[in-house]
Amino acid sequence: MSSVTDTFGSPKFQRYLLWFGLAVLVAGAIALVVVILSGTTDSTTKAVTAPTESGPLRNSDGTLVRTYAQLDPQIRAAVTTFIGSAVARQHVGKSWDVVAPALKAGYTKSQWAKGELPVVPYPGVDTKHVSYSLDVASTKQILLEVGLTGKPGVRSKPVTFQLGLEPVNGRWLVDYWVPRGTPVPD
């Protein structure tokens, strides 16, 4: 046992141990610098990119969009199709093509057409008397305030909804539909 303590206690062994420890420290420091400068810790980490900037929306005529009426006809058609079908629960399958993938995720086209959808309904909506107000119009998002009332003879209170659209493959699709505020009870 004394040969082991003699070996570890010798000045020559302690010098070698010191140099080995310093070499490991330097190698670790170099590895740390390389990892920090490369910006990743392993090959499976993906680089995060900043989102592209959103700019003001212009219609097909080049006009800066400031009102609902200035939106392109295809965008307005998507909105009216969504309200007249998904919200009114009439011919619901027609709304499938104007809804963004995020809103219809988890639903098949068949389920959607049967009315099994994550859209707050307003049965009896008077689609001829809907009011629209543009809140946001950018190249990344359109947000509208939509005022709905019932058809004559339908007992329902007027309700305001927020409707959002996002660009998907060159088309604007509905991706958000939420009632605004709390309805007043009867």
**Cα dihedral sign, 140-144-150-151:** negative
CATH label of the domain that carries residue 132? 3.10.450.100
For the chain, give the percent of residues with pLDDT over 90: 56
Helix (H) or strand (E) holding 159: strand 159-168
- Judge whether 62 lies within some domain: no
Does one domain contain both 172 and 82?
A: yes
Q: pLDDT at residue 169 above 50? A: yes
- Structure confidence by residue, pLDDT tens digits, 85-128: 999 999 999 999 999 999 999 999 999 999 889 999 998 899 99
Does one domain contain both 163 and 77?
A: yes
pTM summary value: 0.69
Average pLDDT score over residue span 181-185: 62
- Judge whether 55 lies within some domain: no
Identify which has the larger pLDDT, 177 or 45: 177
Show the domain range for 29. Answer: 2-38
Contact between 123 and 115 (Cβ < 8 Å): no
Q: What angle do CA 84, 86, 89 make, to 5 degrees?
A: 80
DSSP state of 70: G
Strand order in the sheet with 131-137: 131-137, 142-148, 159-168, 171-179
Number of domains in the chain: 2
Does one domain contain both 31 and 79?
A: no
